[in-house]
Every structure is written in structure tokens, then in C-alpha cells.
A and B are shown apart, each in its own frame.
Chain A
Amino acid sequence: MISRIQRMVRKVALLMAFFLIFSVISVYSQEEIACEIALAKCMFDALKQFLNIISLANYTAYCLTGYLFCKKYLDKQYAG
């Protein structure tokens, strides 16, 4: 029973990840979205843990810190 739930959770997480990544890709050109794709991937990893709300919030904070750093590092290419 537990393994069944786990499989379900994985499937839902996978579907949500595809949705997240494709929703990002569809809006921007490939070149402009390095940080956004990285954030979506990071959030996908966070979703794997979404049964534990505390670790999800913590993981999200790490993802956002990575996004901020990525923006600082790559921002100049998309300036203006």
C-alpha cells in the first residue's frame, strides 16, 4: 500500500515537474531562461519531498538562493 502511494506521489511530482519546466520554456527563448530552468529543476527536487512541509519550505529557500545567485551571475546578458 505504502509503495503504491509512493509511486503515485512520484508520478504526480514528475507530471508537475514537466508542467513547470515546459511552462517556463514556452514563455522564454532558450537563451534567456538558464536561471528559470535551474529553478524549475530545483523545485522539482523540492517537490519530491512535498510530504514534509518543513523540508519543502527549506528546500524552496535553497532553490531561491540559487536563483538569486544565478541572476546575479548571468544577469548582464539579459539586461535592459
Chain B
Amino acid sequence: MLVKKTVLPRSLILMAALPVFLFCLGKNSPEWSLEEVLSIGTLDDTLLFQWVGVAVDGDQNIYVTDTMDYSLKKFDTNGKLLKKTGRRGQGPGEFSAPRYVSSYGNSIYVTDQYIPKIQVFDQDLNYISSIPVSIPVSDFSVISENEIAVSTLSTTKGGIIHIFDSKGKIQNEFPYSFEQMPLMMNSVSFEFDQQRNLYVAYSFQDKIEKFDTEGKKLWSKRLLGIKKVEKEKIASLILPSKLIYKDISLDKSGNLYVLGGSFSKNPSQDVYLLDPEGSLLATITLPDTSHCIYIDGKDYLYSRANEGVTLKKFRIKLQERGNISSLTSFNR
């Protein structure tokens, strides 16, 4: 007797399985969000006028450069102003246009837009010394007491991170691009992780890259699909005018956070979160536009509000399978 077998077409089975697969995928994929835990400065007080750089020490004290106040300020973990130092000038402990700040060991390092030096302060904001740097600083990072990494806008070479020693002597160079590009096209924000891998996010190219300690490119990502950036003639120079990526920061796990610029869905608010292998994990949207992002040693994220009058501190939250945890507790 012949039994007629009913065979379901393979495509039909696949179609039926797809929603189940997608459901499982959606259920397992974590959601990242931010919870505000601290806000410093309001439109009604004078704590901050126009802050630029932020850094946090091991005790969670917050150091901020305030460019309109020509000062460096220290706040405790509750946002109370502990001390302020600096005034307008070019002498020791004075600022012309204070920019980026970094905390390493017991020292606080501050750059100035128009003065070719990095000033070093102790954690009580007493001036210690100055490190002369022969190039304008577009971004910097303190790797160790004797290794200060600086990126600049080279008009003649490709892209290079210069490593200065504490005396201001260039002791190493870390090229990230050998391509000689039009003006400013090689400008980057950068970070080194604990293994000294280098991450760069280009300001005017849709490119985020990771290099190992030997300078070998490990990966290169384009997140926004932008092929060409508009250029404009400004002061007889042909320059790019819209930023693609503004800033980068790393958390303790080596995840990379990249702040998008004009081309993001939410300009200057979208933060792209990539794992150490360069896979995009999520896009987190800041509640307000910012020029920078900073992640401290306990994985709190700092950004701007009220056009620089307010500094916000956020807990990074990861929601997985209905459970909400802060990134901090995940990493401990």
C-alpha cells in the first residue's frame, strides 16, 4: 500500500520559523540607556559658564575646564565646587583658552588652545609644571607620567599621534594614516585602551579604526554610509564644514563610545556603542547636544547640556531579558 507523504516545502518551514527566530533575537538583544545621576551648573547659577573638558580621578572627583572663566574647577562626587584655579593670562597656572583635561595618577593635565604647553596641576589644583608641546593640540591622552599622546592638524604629513615625554620631547610617533589628505581630513579624536591599542574616530571622514601596539590596523568601520563630506571655501582655504564624529571614549570593558556629529539621526546626541571587535552594539541618544563625551573609571558617562552651562553625569544601563543592570555592576 502506498502511503502518500505530505512534504512541506522548505521555504514554507523557513518562513514559519523566521518570526520565532526574530522574536528570540529581539528578546535577547540588550537595550542600552542612560540614567541621569548628577547635574552640575544651571542657567541661574555661576558654577559653569562654558565648560569644555572633563576628567574624573580615582575618588570620583570631577575636574572641568571652563573656557569663559579661564579656569580649572574641581567638584566632588555630589557636584559641590571644591576649588577653582586660574585666570586669564599665559603664565604658570593661567589660561588663554583652556581646553582638554586629563587625570592620571595624582596629576591633572590641561591643554590651552593658544599656548603651546600642557599644564600640570596636583589634585588640589596647585600648579606643578608645564610640558612644552611644539604643535597645536586637537586631542590628547595621558598614557603614563612620561607619555602624553597628542593629535594635531598636520598640513604636510598624514595622520600621526605624537607621544611626548614629561619634558616635552617627542619620543615616539604613532601613524594612523599615511594618506596625505586635504586640509583637516585626517583630524581625529583618539583613545588608547589598557593594552595600548589605539582607537581613532575621524572628524570629517566616516571612519572609525583600531590599531594594535605595533601600529597594525585591526579593523575599520563606517557607521553612517557617508562617502563624501561637503567642503566650503573659508578664508581662502577649502575646508570641510560638517563633522561626522565628534569624540570617542572607552569603558572598562573596552567598549568604544563614539559621539556622532551633523550626519547622525540626532545630531551631536547619538552615541554609537561598539564592542572591542568593532561590532555596533547599540546607539544611545543623549538628552541634549554635546561637543564631547567622557567615561570615567566606574563607567559613568559625562556630557554637556544647556550649551556648556551644565555638565551631566549618567549611569549607563543595560537591559537584558527583562532585567535592568547598570554597566558598572556588570563590569565588577
Contacts and interface: CB of A to CB of B under 8 A. Distances in A.
Nearest to A60: B155
A20 B237 CA distance: 10
Interface in A55-80: 57, 60-62, 64-69, 71-73, 75-76, 78-80
A24 interface: yes
B243 A73 contact: no
A40 B232 CA distance: 13
A51 B113 CA distance: 24
Contacts of A43: 235-237
Contacts of A20: 235-236
A14 to B, nearest CB: 15
Interface string B211-242: 00000000000000000000011111101011
Interface stretch (B5-13, B158-166, B260-268, B311-319): B260-268
Q: How large is the interface on A (under 10, 10 to 19, 20 to 34, 35 or more residues)?
A: 20 to 34
Nearest to A41: B235
A73 B291 contact: yes
B52 A68 contact: no
Interface stretch (B16-24, B29-37, B121-129, B132-140): B132-140
Given A60-B155, A65-B113, A80-B267, A39 B235 contact: yes
Contact of A62 (B114, B241, B246, B261): B114
A48 to B, nearest CB: 14
Contacts of B269: 76
- Shortest Cβ-Cβ A-B pairs, 6 listed: A79-B267, A76-B289, A76-B268, A65-B136, A40-B235, A43-B235
24 contacts: A20-B235, A23-B233, A36-B235, A39-B237, A40-B235, A57-B156, A61-B155, A64-B136, A64-B184, A64-B237, A65-B152, A66-B113, A67-B184, A68-B184, A72-B247, A72-B261, A75-B291, A76-B267, A76-B289, A78-B242, A79-B261, A79-B262, A79-B267, A80-B262
